[in-house]
Amino acid sequence: MDTPYAIEMLNITKKFPGIIANDNITLQLKRGEIHALLGENGAGKSTLMSVLFGLYQPEEGVIKKDGKEVKINDPNDANDLGIGMVHQHFKLVECFTVLDNIILGVEPNKHGVLQKEEARKKVIALSKKYGLMVDPDAKIEDITVGMQQRTEILKMLYRENEILIFDEPTAVLTPQEIDELMQIMRNLKAEGKSILFISHKLAEIMAVADRCTILRKGKYIGTVETAKTTAQELSSLMVGRNVNFHIEKKPQKLGDVVLEVENMTVASKSHNNNAVKNVSLKVRAGEIVCLAGIDGNGQTEFVHGLTGLEPLVSGTVKLKGQDITKAPIRKRNTSGMSHIPEDRHKHGLVLDYSLENNLVLETYFEPEYTSPAGFLKKDNIRKTAERLIKEFDVRSGQGPVTIARAMSGGNQQKAIIAREIDKDPDLLVAVQPTRGLDVGAIEFVHKQLIDRRDSGKAVLLVSLELDEVMDVPDRILVMYEGEIVGEFDPKKTTQEELGLYMAGAKRMEVKA
């Protein structure tokens, strides 16, 4: 114990054919510190963590635990060394209780008979100690995302892990829950746990981390103490250039109504109530309207109703004055509506198709790409793909023929955005377009949305990120339990005020 470091990854190099994912990266986590790992998508954070968990073996470099070199061959080795991780997507059994999930894999038993009482006591003690309030007997499917995350943290604590890794833990949380998580992390640190915090949200890193290691394109950029730096400096280290946080918008030139939704009601798939109740709204040319709210308040269903993925129970949708309530999706796509979907893997891409095939997913049937006899004009598809890849800076291993699955999340999203914006739509429906993206990519997406607005087109943005809600749109509509409960001018409101409406504490009458 003569070293201050709990875990050290020294000069790690991990190569894949065509790419060096980690190029001589060093990460030293001190005992009892919160250490942030910052980097854009594709910077090599996931690879580095996979190396730590023994999922990949590095070509070069060593890993040391308490100063002693260790060999990690699989996740079990990592577990034995006291390394635990809260994944971005929780690994919980939905129909099990919190307690069952916590003891899963390390069930206390006597001759094969479960001894849950003992485990329950331990879990309750742990949750008191660290301020992790969660009911051990509640089922995972019934509790909030924040509580599910606490269950994951308890899982690590129950296993007496000393090194806790949080992989983008705030992506799924509400602002209040984020504050709570920050406090929990501070508590853990106070109890001597070492925390590695993977994130690209600078404000959170500044708020909670002691030190921060920055990766860029697989390379080690540096480790800085957060007390001696600024968010601006961190972001330029991460992206490699200065990032413009301020969003420049031209003065607004409002045009005609492009989208008019009247009394839309959409059924819910998960419960008997309607997910969207009698919603009316208008979006005009030259404006960005943001539909804000906490996840699961009917935004998804509203968009599905609007874009034709789900049928309406009642109500009408008009695009440029034309009634498209019952129009098939193809008709909507070709008459001026573009849709950047919420779930890019489910709806946005055919993951096993090449990038070029994905880029013409909504235009392949046009005469430009299909001959009258029904043959694809592959040359034209290639040309379009190459143009879009260049214009939107979509990066991939092999260009147009790269399989979409092999691309990083940010570039997959860029590909979708390229495809949707290239159609020059009158109305762009963008649902959480920056989810999971890093600062550089977010800046890019926001610029694209604002370009649409400035060129006199309409944008409907659906977002859960309060920063985005405040910065990008011209008008905010807050959705709560399937209804629009407030309309705001982002210049004249605050995050706190929006929060009250989003949580259902306040509401006002809104006329479309």
Which residues contact another protein (rule: CB under 8 A)?
15-21, 23, 41-43, 46-47, 59, 217-219, 307, 309, 328-334, 339, 341, 346-353, 357, 361-362, 364-365, 369-370, 374-376, 378, 395-397, 402, 405-409, 411
Give 120's contacts (C-beta < 8 A, 6+ positions apart).
99, 136
Q: How far is the CB of 189 from another protein (least distance, A)?
A: 31
Is there a contact between 285 and 426 (Cβ–Cβ < 8 Å)?
Answer: yes
Nearer to another protein among residue 34 and residue 441 (C-beta): 441
Contact criterion met (CB below 8 Å) for 27 and 13: no
- The backbone torsions φ and ψ at residue 282, rounded to the nearest 5 degrees and listed phi first, read -130, 145
Six-digit token string for 107: 């069930």
Q: Which residue is associated with the tokens 């985005």?
A: 468
How many CB atoms lie under 10 A from the CB of residue 499? 17
Please, where are the H alpha helices in 91-199?
A: 98-103, 116-130, 145-158, 175-190
Phi and psi dihedrals of 257, rounded to 5? -70, 125
Closest CA to 294 of 157, 177, 437: 177
Give, to the nearest 10 degrees, the angle between helix 175-190 and helix 495-502.
100
* Nearest alpha carbon to residue 256 among 339, 336, 341: 336
Which CB, 53 or 488, lies closer to another protein?
A: 53
**In which residue are the tokens 């370009």 written?**
451
Shortest distance (Å) from residue 419 CB to another protein: 9
Which CB, 74 or 368, lies closer to another protein? 368
CB of 149 to another protein, least distance (A): 23
| Nearest partner of 208 among 199, 218, 217, judged by Cα | 199
The nearest distance, CB 420 to another protein, in angstroms, is 10
Q: How far is the CB of 463 from another protein (least distance, A)?
A: 20
Minimum distance of another protein from residue 498's CB (angstroms) = 30
Task: Tell the smallest beta-carbon distance from residue 23 to another protein (Å).
Answer: 7
Closest among 56, 379, 34, 72 to 183, alpha carbons compared: 34
Query: Which residue number, 336 or 486, has a Cβ lying nearer to another protein?
Result: 336
* Closest to another protein by CB, 87 or 217: 217
Which CB, 387 or 405, lies closer to another protein? 405
Strands 314-319 and 322-323: antiparallel
Q: How far is the CB of 358 from another protein (least distance, A)?
A: 9
Q: Which is nearer to another protein, 268 or 334 (CB)?
A: 334
Smallest distance from the beta carbon of 345 to another protein, in angstroms?
8
Smaller CB separation from another protein, 282 or 331 = 331
Q: Which of 211, 200, 220 is nearest to 21 (CA)?
A: 220
- Which of residues 161 and 412 has its CB atom nearest to another protein in the complex? 412
Q: For residues 233 and 92, give the distance between their C-alpha atoms in angstroms, rounded to a whole number.
A: 37
